[in-house]
Structure 1
Amino acid sequence: MHFRSSSQGSSPQIEILQSERTLLTTPVTQSALFKTFTEMAKAKAFSNSIQRIPSPRARLTLQLTHNKAQREQIISQLTERHQEVIGNALINGNQKKQKIRIVQKQKRRDHSPKKLVNLKEGAKVYQMPNLELPTFEAEFDHPTELTFYSEVQEFYRSVKTFRPSFTESGTMIFYGDSLYLYGGIAGDGIRDEMLRFDLRYQEWHMVEGLGEKPKNGRAAHTLISLKNHFILFGGACKFNVKLKIRECFNTIYDYNVTMRFWEKINTQGDYIEPRRHHKACVYGWKWMLIYGGINSNEQVLGDTALYNIEKMIWKQWDVKSTPICCHSIINISLSTKFNDNTTDLIPAEIIYSFGGKDQTGNSTNFIKKLLFYPNTTTAIAWETIQAGGKPPLPCHNHTMEYIKKIQGIIILGGQRDDLINGSLESNQCFIFYPQLNLWQEVQMEGNNLPRCAHTSVLLSSKIAVFGGIGNGRYLEPLINYIETDQTQVSSKITKEQFNKRQTQYLLIKQKSSLDRIESLNFTPKQLPSFHNDSYKGLGFKIHTKKQQSYSTKSFQPQKRQALIRYDILIGFVSRVIEDNKDILNNFDKFMRKQSIK
């Protein structure tokens, strides 16, 4: 049976099937009551088919259960988002309360009554300068200075372990418990294989992919991660000597991580020009946004396009922007967290861009934001933000990472136009606070190397950095971890200071022991003849310099140094030689006699 709304009334009527209607309309006669065996079998089969048809009540219950499941799913998503917003608000409120308490304590301490001091005549009074108290607004506008700690991966190389070569302009993605590295200019040319770094065992592995993968590899491309798929776009291959150009591409490849399968995508929609040194990021829950780049004719591009990953359709955005390349972009929105959304409505995301090279080849240090029409999802232009604080110097080929706990965008490395401290590459780190439009420089500790054309990935509170160029040469293919959590940074700094003191102590101890050995000066005096009866051995005197002891106290008994009477030893040896002088002079004859015997 099926439900169908009636045209006359609002209550639904039950539509009876044709077979049921014929069954009900047939009159009950004597032939209908008394049937043969064949007629009884047919009637039984017909009744069973009627019983299998679900009743209207069963259909209604199924529909209600389905609606209930959908309602619970929507409520769970809203509850999760509500709890996240409330949690962030509570954290911010507690931080504000703590700062206000600190300011109030300082005010009470300064305004407390002080005892009067009776000074003598002619006594000088030293008065502290009247410094204004730091207000809450001033403290909020100027965040506390941060310190990051950089350390290199401890790599124990053996015969079996695999290690990649030097890499420039590659891409690295974090998925599961591994880092995936693809492409880039390596020591043996442009890389065309996928490498995996296991974070648990700190080992590199080569991943053999199936399907149609990019030919001749890629460099200066983009690679984004969405669920278990890596989306590769653009890039360049080796330099074509005949055409004297570096050919660029506009093809898209989809790499399934779980299946290890490459697939070339046949896209539709607007035409996107081939490019390299562009930048891309995940936009919303199923889009990829690209911006800028260089084409095969070495022209700098400034267009913005959006790619629908599910429908494989390109859409060119009419966004005003100056041509840019070798820059970096990042999406700091939270909508990518809810990937279960299936609507085709394009959201308005918060996208930032920094640095890069313009069409004249000069580096820039502008921070830009993608601007939308009010209350719409239509982008207008890339707006340059007027930020305060000390910005980084103009640079390109750097990386950007967004840390939610700090609520700041991290700028790492980059190549400058001018030499500073004998290097074009930068080892500085800066933070941009989007809520305050403020720049701040970070103090770096540990093993901090200048680098550019590298790749970086955010791992919780750490930033993993790999490859690049520093001081005019390729950097070692080791992963550099930058710790951003301040508690971890302080513990690492104290540990480093302790290790430095320990090594200094060991060096001083080793040097003191060497000085003590060299201080043993043997000064022999002239000895009289051993054959004289009036022989009195004068011998050697051992002079020992007094050394300052750097060693710690020990409760074990010290071993005394054994002093040798060299005068007695030399006298004994001389007497033995004198007694056997005949044998030594006639040694050949003595040996012949011994051989004859």
Structure 2
Amino acid sequence: MLERDTPEELPSDKLELKLFRKSPLGTRIDENCLSPLTTREILYQKRSQAKRMIKEKEELRSLANKSYTMEYSASPLRTVHMPFIKVSYKKNKKKNLDVNSSNSEVDEYLPTDDESHLFPEFCEVFWTRLDCVGWKPESSQQLSMVVVQNKVFLIGGISRSIIGDVNVFIPAYKRWEKIQTIGVESEPRFGHSTVEYKQKIYLFGGGTDFNAVHKLRECLNGVKVLNTENFEISNLKCSGSYITTRKQHCCAIVGKHMFIHGGMNQKNNLLDDASILNLEKSHWKLLSIKGLGPGYCGFHTAVTILHPSQKPASSIYKLPNLKKNQETHTGIYIFGGINRERKATNNLFLLKIGTKQLTWITPETKGTPPSPRFQHSMSYNEKLDILVIFGGRVDIVNTQHYTCFNDVFILRIQDWTWITIKVLGNVPTPRSGHASVSYGTKIYVFGGVGTSAYCSSNLYVLELNQKTARHLIEDEERRKAKELEVETMRTKRVEFQQEERKKGGFRNSE
């Protein structure tokens, strides 16, 4: 448990900042912040709080000196709030804690713009290219990423060859680690899906090696389970309906049910079926869904969105009841992909869940939606209640060429509004086939391929929190202004030296 520092222990000026970093609170903040900017912001906010509280104490003492008969309990200033960071015992026990994560006690303490519970209609987002420490995995496409206990797992993909590696990124330390798994061997795969359930990762489907005899690339329909505690991989023996081998499908999880839809078989024919896997019973069930859905579709994306009060959901068929008059747009959202005519789409579908009869609906959105695309990424940021779509590609009609995107689109879930965005910072190159995850108020993006080559193995972070993004933008503007100032001074120095040489040459000629 973090200690509550008294005002006297907090810094009162910049010279005491280094001393404060050594205190219990300062050390914890300094260790877990991803950037010096965040550290300074928190430390200076603490300093301001200390000054404010010390002033309140002085006012109390002043009032007491003026009238000893005055009852202390009658003073409106009798309550002095000590600065402290909310933290639970269980959270404090966890290692690799990141203050920018959704589980961060510091993030819970700081006031944010999203406390209004409605994301603004115009927003600024900021891209950062992370300078990771040490080794980085090889860049690839059609890979998967999933967050488990403040760690980002990266699995599979295709590059120079099909990849079967399991790699982990630790945001708190900005470091990649290559995992040596035990147990059964997991086939190298791409175009697969991964979900997290009870701190285990479930891998389904994907494409694998090329079969020279049948002249096609094999697809998988088995389920592998990765234990994130000991990194053991095991096969999940399933019963129930037969599930066709597939790749490039979409996948989401609701409670104990893993939902899959569509994709392509090993002959590259599109599929239109939907199934769920009960992860407790290892039982597949083919779904019959009411309404008009995506149909035959591949390279599309899916995410589950639940109201916070529905988080204990254990089944796709039953959700905890919401309070009266509480509006919600919960369910499984599916966007984009290619249809039966092999054309990219920008269709948005919502699978309404929580009843025995699942139903497709088409949300009536406002604003400007993304253009048609596939092989994009889509993430739900639970903290801000927004859907974030990045990148993707579209094929140029009657040619072998295609165009990749690096644009960002945000859908505000509360009223289904596409937000107007100003994108700043170190924007990633246009790409498709990449992977993304939501972590805290950020979106992490890795891999992908452009129109002519694979993208770099750099990890990009999109900051969505408006207050933090504004600080990053201001820092970037100051940095550019400083660079311009230095360049201007350098130019003036060179011009001055040239003038001096001319004057010296003129005097010598005389």
Match of 1:302 in 2: 272
Match of 2:363 in 1: 385
Which one of the candidate residues 448, 452, 456 is aligned to 1:476? 456
Match of 1:251 in 2: 222
Match of 1:369 in 2: 350
Partner AA of 1:260 in structure 2: F
1:326, 1:397 within 8 Å by CA — same for their partners in 2? Answer: yes
Structure 1 position 447 matched with structure 2 position 454: no
Match of 1:146 in 2: 123
Structure 1 vs Structure 2 CA RMSD: 2.9
Q: Distance in 2 between matches of 1:416 and 1:524?
A: 63
Q: What is the CA-CA distance between 1:205 and the residue it aligns to?
A: 1.5
Percent identical pairs in the alignment equals: 26
The 1:490–1:303 alpha-carbon spacing in structure 2 relative to 1, beyond 3 Å, is same
In our comparison, the structure showing a higher alpha carbon Rg is: 1
Which one of the candidate residues 410, 421, 433 is aligned to 2:388? 410
Match of 2:152 in 1: 179
Secondary structure class of the residue paired with 1:457: strand
TM-score (norm: length of structure 2): 0.69
Structure 1 position 237 matched with structure 2 position 213: no
Match of 1:338 in 2: 312
Q: What is the CA-CA distance between 1:347 and the residue it aligns to?
A: 4.4
Structure 1 position 282 matched with structure 2 position 253: yes
Partner AA of 2:508 in structure 1: F
Q: Deviations over 1:246-281 (max 9, x none)?
A: 111100001101021010111100001110000111
Match of 2:244 in 1: 273
The 1:434–1:522 alpha-carbon spacing in structure 2 relative to 1, beyond 3 Å, is closer
Q: Distance in 2 between matches of 1:279 and 1:213?
A: 24
TM-score (norm: length of structure 1): 0.60
Structure 1 position 500 matched with structure 2 position 471: no
Q: Distance in 2 between matches of 1:231 and 1:523?
A: 77
The 1:523–1:152 alpha-carbon spacing in structure 2 relative to 1, beyond 3 Å, is closer
2:310, 2:319 within 8 Å by CA — same for their partners in 1? Answer: no
Structure 1 position 359 matched with structure 2 position 340: yes
5+ residue gaps, structure 1: 1-90, 97-139, 526-538, 543-597
Q: State the structure with bigger RCO (CA 8 A, min sep 6), 1 or 2.
A: 2
1:149, 1:492 within 8 Å by CA — same for their partners in 2? Answer: yes
Partner AA of 2:300 in structure 1: H
Paired positions, count: 382
The 1:427–1:298 alpha-carbon spacing in structure 2 relative to 1, beyond 3 Å, is same
Match of 1:221 in 2: 192
Match of 1:396 in 2: 374
Partner AA of 1:484 in structure 2: L
Q: What is the CA-CA distance between 1:411 and the residue it aligns to?
A: 1.2
> Which residues of 2 match residues 474-553 of structure 1 at below 5 A?
474-519=454-499, 520-521=501-502, 540=508
2:240, 2:283 within 8 Å by CA — same for their partners in 1? Answer: yes
Partner AA of 1:177 in structure 2: N
Partner AA of 1:445 in structure 2: L
The 1:336–1:274 alpha-carbon spacing in structure 2 relative to 1, beyond 3 Å, is farther
Secondary structure class of the residue paired with 1:190: coil
1:428, 1:442 within 8 Å by CA — same for their partners in 2? Answer: no
Secondary structure class of the residue paired with 1:470: coil
Match of 1:567 in 2: none
List structure 1 segments (4+ residues) > 4 angstroms apart after TM superposition.
343-349, 522-525
Partner AA of 2:301 in structure 1: S
Which one of the candidate residues 201, 211, 215 is aligned to 2:173? 201
The 1:346–1:245 alpha-carbon spacing in structure 2 relative to 1, beyond 3 Å, is farther
Partner AA of 1:487 in structure 2: K
Structure 1 position 461 matched with structure 2 position 441: yes
> Which residues of 2 match residues 423-434 of structure 1 at below 5 A?
424-434=403-413
The 1:306–1:524 alpha-carbon spacing in structure 2 relative to 1, beyond 3 Å, is closer
1:211, 1:261 within 8 Å by CA — same for their partners in 2? Answer: yes
Secondary structure class of the residue paired with 2:176: strand
Q: Distance in 2 between matches of 1:207 and 1:390?
A: 42
Partner AA of 2:312 in structure 1: F
Secondary structure class of the residue paired with 1:307: strand
Q: Distance in 1 between matches of 2:351 and 2:233?
A: 32
Structure 1 position 314 matched with structure 2 position 284: yes
5+ residue gaps, structure 2: 1-111, 321-329
